[in-house]
């Protein structure tokens, strides 16, 4: 096993030295993929690089040995085949495809319709049972990221089940004031522009939440 691993590393290193530019491009693309995973708040997606690399290397070892430009083309085509294969296979994973919304069993007694409207825009995309799943939520691995965000959001506080989760809403005002909600990955790349509240809307929302029962430091307590 150790001998095989050593041989694999030596062969990979030798190939990298033969194709310095190609190696640099591939490293850049890998870093770009990891960076994209961070930007959408789902760094776990980066693990997909491992099966892509393994399948690509297996294909390379099964093809006729070549040198120079022919070898570089073999590497590129093998990686492309591996990428397509992994992308096709992960579409069969059921996680992220249910797109279910439970019943609305209770909401906070919002201080005004405007307070609710602003909360719907900024927070209901993950913290409610009224999630509107975008079209890209049907394609893995993005669908995994969307489902992960919704599952995590609902587990922290679900404003559609407020009567049972009200204790977890204590820090609603705090996280909005800090700017951690909505998270940046929710609005990156021009997604969910409605969640980007203006300074005036933010001020109105904070004031409305302080007047809403169960929202932490204001509102006169919970139901």
* Domain residue ranges of the chain, discontinuous segments joined by +: 2-90, 113-210
Residue 142 is predicted with a pLDDT of: 92
Residue 110, Ramachandran bin (φ over 0: left; ψ between -120 and 50: alpha; else beta): beta
Distance CA 13, CA 20 (A): 10
Q: What is the mean pLDDT of each run of 10 residues along the chain (223 residues)?
A: 76 82 93 92 93 91 75 90 96 90 90 95 93 91 94 90 64 83 81 88 92 66 41
Contact at 8 Å (CB) between 129 and 177? no
Rg over CA atoms, the chain = 24
Query: DSSP 3-state assignment of 39?
Result: helix
pLDDT confidence of residue 219 = 45
β-bridge mates for residue 106, sequence order: 161
pTM of the model: 0.81
- Contact (CB, 8 A) for 197 and 205: yes
């Amino acid at each position: 096993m150790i001998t095989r691993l050593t041989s694999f590393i030596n062969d990979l290193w030798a190939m990298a030295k033969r194709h310095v530019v190609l190696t640099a491009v591939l490293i850049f693309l890998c870093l770009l993929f990891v960076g994209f995973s961070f930007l959408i708040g789902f760094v776990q997606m980066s693990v997909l690089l491992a099966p892509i690399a393994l399948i690509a290397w297996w294909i390379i070892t099964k093809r006729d040995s070549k040198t120079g430009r022919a070898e570089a083309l073999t590497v590129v085509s093998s990686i492309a085949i591996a990428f397509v294969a992994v992308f096709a296979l992960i579409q069969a994973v059921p996680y992220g495809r249910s797109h279910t919304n439970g019943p609305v069993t209770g909401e906070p007694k919002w201080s005004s319709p405007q307070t609710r409207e602003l909360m719907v825009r900024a927070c209901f995309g993950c913290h409610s049972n009224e999630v509107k799943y975008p079209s890209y939520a049907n394609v893995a691995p993005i669908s995994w990221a969307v489902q992960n965000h919704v599952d995590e959001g609902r587990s922290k506080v679900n404003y559609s089940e407020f009567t049972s989760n009200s204790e977890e809403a204590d820090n609603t005002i705090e996280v909005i004031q800090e700017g951690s909600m909505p998270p940046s990955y929710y609005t990156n790349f021009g997604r969910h522009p409605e969640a980007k509240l203006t300074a005036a809307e933010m001020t109105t929302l904070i004031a409305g939440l302080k007047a809403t029962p169960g929202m932490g430091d204001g509102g006169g307590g919970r139901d």
